[in-house]
Amino acid sequence: MKKTLLVPLAGAVLLASCGQAGNGNAGPVYLDVDRPLEERVEDALSRMTLEEKVRVLHAQSKFSSAGVPRLGIPELWCTDGPHGIRPEVLWDEWDQAGWTNDSCVAFPALTCLAATWNEDMSALYGKSIGEEARYREKDVLLGPGVNIYRTPLNGRNFEYMGEDPYLASKMVVPYVQQVQENGVAVCVKHFALNNQEAKRHEYDAVVDDRTLHEIYLPAFKAAVQEGGAWSVMGAYNLYRGQHLCHNEYMLNGVLKQDWGFDGAVISDWGGTHDTAESISNGLDLEFGTWTNGLRGETSNTYNSYYLADPYLARLRSGEASMEVLDDKVRRVLRLIFRTAMNTRKPFGSLCSPEHYDAARRIAGEGIVLLKNDGGVLPLDLSSTRRIAVIGENAIKMMTVGGGSSSLKVQHECTPLEGIRAAAGDKAEIVYERGYVGDISGDYNGVVTGQDLSESRSESQLTADAVALAASSDAVIFVGGLNKSAHQDCEDSDRLGLELPYDQDKVISALAKVNPNLVVVIISGNAVAMPWADEVNGIVEAWFGGSEAGNALADVLFGKVNPSGKLPFTFPAKLEDNGAHALGAYDPDAVRVEYKEGIYVGYRWADKMQVKPLFAFGHGLSYTDFSYGGAKCSKSVVRSSADVQVSVDVTNIGQVAGKEVVQLYIGDDESSVERPVRELKGFRKVALEPGETRTVNFTVTPDMLKFYDPASGCWVLEKGSFTVYIGSSSTDIRTTARFEVR
């Protein structure tokens, strides 16, 4: 069957055909979806005037660029990203457009996705959010984010995938692929070295080359080379003294030349600062520089963008080259052909039952059981008659706020609602606030509609919560951070590792009156837990999205056996983190030296032998797993050969569960200092009680290499390597060795 597409062309309407190869259609090559992409790009390029070429390189509204109307090349529409599809804003303002059909399903924050350690969950996430983007007619989804978790104070860590380059690389690829299956481009952000919000437009990240390549670039590289990302967003901050939205080394050197990226580099909104640098240093599409383009003003309009009239003037005067211009236009055309002009993309869907189901599954699988002394969890509804739920985060909607990832959801299930629904009439669920945190519920005009005002004093709130806890069989405290400034929020960093609003005091007071206390932390960051020894149960539940409450209840009552693992280290105190230990994080500094180098997260904890509060990769289950001995296929290998490593894992408990078997490698003899061990493999295996499975890993030569800054190459040295297999980065159950000759 041939499909017919109506394309406006030069004021007329052209009948273009698409659908079958060799259909004899005499229309322009660029409209023929059966022709190779590059032929179509060249054809379109050859038909564009100079003005049209420049016009596709910058915004025409907050989230769109103009396309080429004369040729029937449509506008390109972007949307945030990365946890759901942002509601429509006005053409020229951040305020709401006031649509009634733009609410979405909020998927869990990317920290939660990373905590699933399950690539299938990432694929499900990408498929689902991609379908929502497609249904809303978006061409570019501004996400996912893969900036490495360098400090627990970074306000945007919740939008990223943790501290480890291998984990983030594995988790980002299926997300990218599945979004793009919908004819929607991802825009991987924020490239690169955007590891704090303090001074985000001004700070220059000073990083040595080895650290850059071993820690901060791999996830971006995987998204581009393995995922095939169609666009990448430059970061706000600087590197080597140049803003990352027009950074010669990073964009032209690393991304386009070294990695062969053929897509478009999109600026972060307001991240462009200079015409000459934007032209020559790899920026292709400029967004968000100014906001008042429609008001008939003569300056600060979209035409005044760095890649608009100022660029045109340089082209006309011969100051700027046509080759560079054409390269940018080709990249933008590729992006448009892959998305907006992709006539074969599926239709997508919005707020479908499947999407809610996906959100709930991912959230449930990402929840991490940090501590479970005395088997306080799961709560048994046949013996627990009265359950006290305490804490503001039990009732607060978390999908509104936090910056550009803020959403307008069709529905959000809070923890209290989820717990109530799960308990039904089997237990009495009673609620107390305990403390007051952030009562606002408004972001760019999206309002939660919740009235969180409170008239009681702090001491009264604590007293009321303690009284309720004392008269209940079990207590679930739901606290943590929220999406307001200086918490898990864009544009500011946290001010400390501690929980805000004196929650520590409330938790300690509750612990004194009820031993069956479970503390649930809602956050995208590690928090200090001075009360950790006082409570029996601790759960990290992240920002769970639309199904947050149901997913939490699934875990608390044992419908879902927790299998999430931490994607970053929880240090006992801030100084146990490398950047902070070395005084290499200063929110006021404009020169941020990454003095800890490659020793980020667990790499620092292992090197300094500091015991984390909870280690990278840690997460308990309602069952237990035993590990057999690790076996390597060879004890001596050639430097070009793979090694097969296997281990038997058995569920030795009473219930079915999933274990994330983690493989780390340490280089025993190296000419350079290397981390004690680094994650190089993981598998999530589902096991019935008593079941044993053999888990296999392939260790490739690439996994053994380090980056040598002098040669700019990855180097494999001969000698002995140790394979560590375990349940977390510190809970190593078995080791094996092999030697590379």
Residues assigned a catalytic role: 268
Q: Which residues of 530-553 are buried (b: 16+ CB within 10 A; e: fewer)?
A: ebbebbbbbbbbbbbbbbbbbbbb
d(CA 242, CA 246): 7
Decide whether 267 or 514 has the Cβ nearer to ligand BGC: 267
Decide whether 268 or 667 has the Cβ nearer to ligand BGC: 268
Q: Which residues of 709-728 are buried (b: 16+ CB within 10 A; e: fewer)?
A: eeeeeeebbeeebbbbbbbb
- Positive or negative torsion for Cα 228, 179, 160, 239: positive
**Rounded least distance, CB 272 to ligand BGC, Å:** 12
Is 404 one of the binding residues for ligand BGC (CB under 6 A)? yes
Decide whether 75 or 593 has the Cβ nearer to ligand BGC: 75
Q: Are 647 and 726 in contact (CB under 8 A)?
A: no
Q: Are 367 and 564 in contact (CB under 8 A)?
A: yes
From the list 369, 371, 237, 353, the residue with the least C-alpha distance to 660 is: 369
Pick out residues in 81-110 that bind ligand BGC (CB under 6 A).
81
Cα 722 to chain centroid distance, Å, stands at: 31
From the list 211, 289, 312, 209, the residue with the least C-alpha distance to 243 is: 289
Q: Are 380 and 149 in contact (CB under 8 A)?
A: no
Decide whether 159 or 667 has the Cβ nearer to ligand BGC: 159
Is 65 one of the binding residues for ligand BGC (CB under 6 A)? no
Decide whether 287 or 604 has the Cβ nearer to ligand BGC: 287
From the list 214, 194, 331, the residue with the least C-alpha distance to 261 is: 331
Decide whether 133 or 551 has the Cβ nearer to ligand BGC: 133
Decide whether 90 or 676 has the Cβ nearer to ligand BGC: 90
Reduce the DSSP state of residue 174 to 3 states and report it.
helix
Pick out residues in 1-30 that bind ligand BGC (CB under 6 A).
none
* CA distances for 187 relative to 29, 82, 256, 464, angstroms: 27, 9, 15, 48
**Rounded least distance, CB 289 to ligand BGC, Å:** 12
Is 493 one of the binding residues for ligand BGC (CB under 6 A)? no
From the list 211, 214, 76, 229, the residue with the least C-alpha distance to 144 is: 229
**Rounded least distance, CB 111 to ligand BGC, Å:** 15
Backbone angles phi, psi at 314, to 5 degrees: -70, -35
Pick out residues in 132-161 that bind ligand BGC (CB under 6 A).
142
Is 269 one of the binding residues for ligand BGC (CB under 6 A)? yes
d(CA 463, CA 682): 46
Is 61 one of the binding residues for ligand BGC (CB under 6 A)? no
**Rounded least distance, CB 61 to ligand BGC, Å:** 12
User: Which tokens sit at 673?
Assistant: 């200092």
β-strand 386-390 against 428-432: which pairing, if any? parallel
User: Which tokens sit at 501?
Assistant: 């609003």
Q: Are 557 and 381 in contact (CB under 8 A)?
A: yes
What are 366's strand-pairing partners?
none
**Rounded least distance, CB 592 to ligand BGC, Å:** 18
Decide whether 270 or 530 has the Cβ nearer to ligand BGC: 270
* CA distances for 725 relative to 649, 717, 733, angstroms: 11, 22, 6
Pick out residues in 163-202 that bind ligand BGC (CB under 6 A).
189
β-strand 238-239 against 631-632: which pairing, if any? unpaired
User: Which tokens sit at 519?
Assistant: 């503390």
User: Which tokens sit at 279?
Assistant: 């032209």
Judged by CB under 6 A, the residue of 92, 268, 432, 576 near ligand BGC is 268
**Rounded least distance, CB 200 to ligand BGC, Å:** 8
Is 80 one of the binding residues for ligand BGC (CB under 6 A)? yes
User: Is the preceding peptide bond at 394 cis, omega within 30 degrees of 0?
Assistant: no
User: Which tokens sit at 191?
Assistant: 């490239």
Q: At what angle do helices 503-513 and 458-470 cross, to 10 degrees?
A: 30
d(CA 115, CA 250): 29
Backbone angles phi, psi at 185, to 5 degrees: -80, 145
Residues in the interface with ligand BGC (CB under 6 A) total: 7
Q: Are 279 and 310 in contact (CB under 8 A)?
A: no
**Rounded least distance, CB 271 to ligand BGC, Å:** 8
Decide whether 97 or 655 has the Cβ nearer to ligand BGC: 97
**Rounded least distance, CB 164 to ligand BGC, Å:** 22
**Rounded least distance, CB 80 to ligand BGC, Å:** 5
**Rounded least distance, CB 94 to ligand BGC, Å:** 8
**Rounded least distance, CB 143 to ligand BGC, Å:** 7
Decide whether 269 or 311 has the Cβ nearer to ligand BGC: 269
Total residues belonging to the chain: 741
Name the one residue in this structure whose structure tokens are 């006005």. Answer: 90
Decide whether 271 or 537 has the Cβ nearer to ligand BGC: 271
Binding site for ligand BGC (CB under 6 A): 80-81, 142, 189, 268-269, 404
